[in-house]
Amino acid sequence: MAQLTPAQVAADTGSTVVDVREPDEVATGAIAGSTAIPLGQLAARVGELDPTAPVITVCQSGRRSQQAAEALAAAGLRVSNMAGGMNAWRDAGLPTA
């Protein structure tokens, strides 16, 4: 499973970014254009994702998003994980929505 840096995610315009944090975490700032699906709802909502588009999973530190990436890969999606999560995104000075 590919581990992407925040800079790689920021430069990627062809993938769907799925933020698996809880709503209160997402409210503190998210990647513009990302889709928020809490990890606990992912299995029930996987059908909302375009199966032909690559997916990048994101959470706060990278642990939950790794679990999400593994689940989505098992469901047949092409998926990568953003290493370090939103902590790394903010550390890189990238903007949040």
pTM for the model stands at 0.96
- pLDDT tens digit sequence for 6-34: 999 999 999 999 999 999 999 999 999 99
The token pair that represents 4 in the structure block: 């992407």
**pLDDT at 1 (0 to 100):** 86
Percent of the chain with pLDDT strictly greater than 70:
100
Which domains occur in the chain, in start order? 2-91 (3.40.250.10)
**How many C-beta atoms lie closer than 10 Å to residue 27's C-beta?**
10
In the chain (97 residues long), the average pLDDT of successive 10-residue segments reads 97 97 98 98 97 98 98 97 98 97
Residue 80 is inside which H or E element, if any?
Answer: strand 79-82
